[in-house]
Amino acid sequence: MRYRYCAQRQTVRKRILILCEGGKTEPGYFKAIKADKYLSRQLVGLRIVVHNTKKNTAKELVAQAIYLKKEAKHEKNPYDDVWVVVDRDGYTKHPESFDRARQTDICIGFSSPCFEYWILLHYVYTSSPFDNCDAVIVKLQQYIPEYNKAENYFDDLKERIEAAITHGNRIKRHWEDIADGPIWQYNPYTDVGELVNKLINL
């Protein structure tokens, strides 16, 4: 059974809410997309809301996304898409979280073992598994020697976004060819490129 956690619509997206698991790396990346002067020409007419939150599990973030989605609809200012960006790193309740997201039309941008794998794909494609996020960071430091989670490296990454999207599509095809099951079992994996591609290519 194939899993997909973002319903396909034909309407133009104009207002997108993004909730991120990480305190700095993930929201920093998407806030930088929103603020980048070059990309702003492509984002005309699109409002990106990166919500600041202290929630740090997929279950909590999906619940908060549902609440914010309902609140925006009640205020007659609904979101066209709502995304939760999470990773596998140490979390064990993905089936429950993904099922709840699917039931409520919440999109999930998922990375395994962590968001740093998406950042790594800006530089190189690899399908080799990682023991944990620290192992991904060691690999990433071959390209960004000073890398740490507290810093924002978007200025170095933005010229490589298209390469990252291409590599992200490739890792998805890799797993489609060799596995049949939920994406949280895959290592490495990311579909964050779907969200990034949506943002920069509307």
pLDDT in tens, 145-202: 999 988 999 999 999 999 999 999 999 999 999 988 999 999 999 999 999 998 887 5
Position 57 pLDDT exceeds 90 = no
Question: How far apart, in whole angstroms, are the C-alpha atoms of residue 155 and residue 106?
Answer: 29
Domain boundaries, the chain: 15-200
Question: How far apart, in whole angstroms, are the C-alpha atoms of residue 117 and residue 98?
Answer: 20
Closest of 47, 189, 31, 49 to residue 120, by C-alpha = 189
pLDDT in tens, 109-158: 999 999 999 999 999 999 999 999 999 999 999 999 999 988 999 999 99
The answer to whether the Cα torsion of 50, 7, 89, 67 is positive or negative is: positive
Pairing, β 107-112 against β 81-87: parallel
Domain covering 15-200, topology: Rossmann fold (3.40.50)
pTM greater than 0.75 (yes/no): yes
pLDDT in tens, 94-104: 889 999 999 99
